[in-house]
Amino acid sequence: MRNARTAHTLRHWKIHLNDWVVDFLKEEDYCTPDKIIQRDSWSTRKRRDYANSVVDSMEEAGEIKKLHRDFKNEINNAQNAHVYVSCSKGSDCTYANDKSQKSRTDYASD
């Protein structure tokens, strides 16, 4: 069950990570229409070098370290959680963590 919880958590974390990166790029004005059009004519090598420079700037700002810390916390929480799962007919499943006694409904297809 521990591996299943961890895998489920990582699946959701991957989606949230993508959303975070897209939001970050928008906030930092990397995704303005003019800049996208400008990069469209670039070679693959130039795009790769630019992407690497963006990641380098994220690392210098401490963003990568924060993301790694969040990732480790999610893994630890998933591995240490005591989760009770209750599924009804259909696709609704309720997950309750005995530490918080909160429950939420997700869809089994998540």
Q: How many CB atoms lie within 10 A of CB 9?
A: 16
Q: Is residue 100 part of a domain?
A: no
List, for residues 47-92, the tens digit of each pLDDT value.
999 999 999 999 999 999 999 999 898 888 877 776 555 666 665 6
Round to whole Å and give the CA distance between 9 and 38: 37
Q: Is residue 64 part of a domain?
A: yes
pLDDT over 90 for what percent of the chain? 48
First to last CA, the chain: 17
Q: Is residue 86 part of a domain?
A: no
The CA distances from residue 54 to 5, 76, 81, in Å, are 33, 29, 36
Q: Is residue 108 part of a domain?
A: no
Q: Is residue 41 part of a domain?
A: yes
Could you list the beta-strand ranges (E) of 1-110. Answer: 83-87, 92-97, 103-107
Domain hosting residue 45, numbered range: 2-81
Instruction: Name residue 24's amino acid.
Output: F
Q: Is residue 97 part of a domain?
A: no
Q: Is residue 99 part of a domain?
A: no
Looking at the structure of the chain, the number of domains it has is: 1
- The DSSP symbol for 110 reads -
Q: Is residue 95 part of a domain?
A: no
